[in-house]
Amino acid sequence: MKNSLIALSSLLMLGGTAHAQKVAFEEYDLPNGMHVILHNDPSAPVVITSVMYHVGSKDENPERTGFAHFFEHLLFEGTENIKRGEWFKIVTSNGGTNNANTTDDRTYYFEVFPSNNTELGLWMESERLMHPVINQIGVDTQNEVVKEEKRLRVDNQPYGNLIAEVKKNMFKNHPYRWATIGSMEHLDAATLQEFQEFNKKFYSPNNAVLVVAGQIDIKQTKAWIEKYFGPIPRGVELKKQTFTEEPITQTIRASYEDPNIQKEMVVASYRTPSMKTRDARILDMISTYLSNGKSSKLYKKIVDEKKMALQIGAFNYTQEDYGLYILYGLPQGENTSVDLLREIDEEIVKLQTNLISENDYQKLQNIYESNYVDNNSSVEGVAENLATFYLLYGDVNLINTEIEMYRSITREEIRDVAKKYLNPNQRLILDYVPAKDKADLNNNEQAKQN
The string of pLDDT tens digits covering residues 270-291 is 999 999 999 999 999 999 999 9
Q: Which residue has the higher pLDDT, 438 or 86?
A: 86
Nearest Cα neighbor of 260 from 66, 442, 443, 448 is: 442
Q: Please report, as a single letter, which amino acid is at residue 396.
A: V
Mean pLDDT of 374-393: 95
Do residues 324 and 167 make contact, with C-beta atoms less than 8 angstroms apart? yes
Chain-centroid distance of CA 178 in Å reads: 15
- Confidence at 295, pLDDT banded by 50, 70, 90: confident
Give the dihedral sign, CA 122/401/394/412: positive
Chain segment 105-137, per-residue pLDDT in tens: 999 999 999 999 999 999 999 999 999 999 999
| Alpha carbons within 13 A on the beta-carbon side of 107 | 25
Q: What is the pLDDT of residue 357?
A: 96
pLDDT at 159 over 80: yes
Do residues 289 and 281 make contact, with C-beta atoms less than 8 angstroms apart? no
pLDDT at 194 over 80: yes
Q: Residue 203 CB: number of other CB atoms within 10 A?
A: 21
pLDDT at 15 over 50: no
Strands 12-14 and 17-19: antiparallel
Q: What is the pLDDT of residue 421?
A: 98
Q: What is the pLDDT of residue 437?
A: 65
Chain segment 47-89, per-residue pLDDT in tens: 999 999 999 999 999 999 999 999 999 999 999 999 999 999 9
Out of 15-19, 142-146, 192-196, 240-244, least confident range: 15-19
- Confidence at 448, pLDDT banded by 50, 70, 90: very low
Terminal Cα-to-Cα distance of the chain (whole angstroms): 50
SS3 43: coil
Mean pLDDT of 29-56: 97
Strands 265-273 and 322-331: antiparallel
Do residues 196 and 13 make contact, with C-beta atoms less than 8 angstroms apart? no
- Rounded CA-CA distance 390/341 in Å is 39
Q: Structure pTM?
A: 0.91
Helices 379-388 and 358-375: crossing angle in degrees, nearest 10, is 100
Q: What is the pLDDT of residue 3?
A: 33
